[in-house]
Amino acid sequence: MTRSELVERIAAKVPNLTIKDIDRIVDVIFNRLVSALADGDRVELRGFGAFSVRERQPRIAINPKNKNKVSVPAKKIVHFKTGKELHNRLNQE
């Protein structure tokens, strides 16, 4: 699902809000989530999951084209862990 599809689906469920208002709300939510992660905070959405920042250690990798060794610096990545409710929905039998 893309961001615009998300806005359209919300608009279909909440007809009293305009697309422009919904777009602004989604934008604020995403911007706040990104800023919290950039600050190193953990973001938890109950029933959905939790986003956190983890650090990858520097390492030596191999370029598959020419087999040369390449130094990859340490970097931060976003880690997502599903919440119990989402996990159960995805793994229904």
Tell me the CATH number at 75: 4.10.520.10
Angstrom CA distances, 66 to 22, 59, 62, 69, 73, stand at 49, 18, 8, 9, 20
Model's pTM, two decimal places?
0.76
Angstrom CA distances, 84 to 48, 78, 81, stand at 8, 19, 9
Do 37 and 61 lie in one domain? The reply is no
For strands 69-72 and 75-82, give the pairing: unpaired
Q: What is the pLDDT of residues 32-57, one digit of tens each?
A: 999 999 999 999 999 899 999 999 99
How far is residue 62's CA from residue 24's CA, in Å, rounded to a whole number? 44
Query: How confident is the model at residue 92, as a pLDDT?
Result: 87
What domain range includes position 5? 1-41
pLDDT in tens, the chain (93 residues): 999 999 999 999 999 999 999 999 999 999 999 999 999 999 999 989 999 999 999 999 999 999 999 999 999 999 999 999 999 999 986
- Say if CB 86 and CB 49 are below 8 A apart: yes
Give me the number of domains the chain comprises: 2
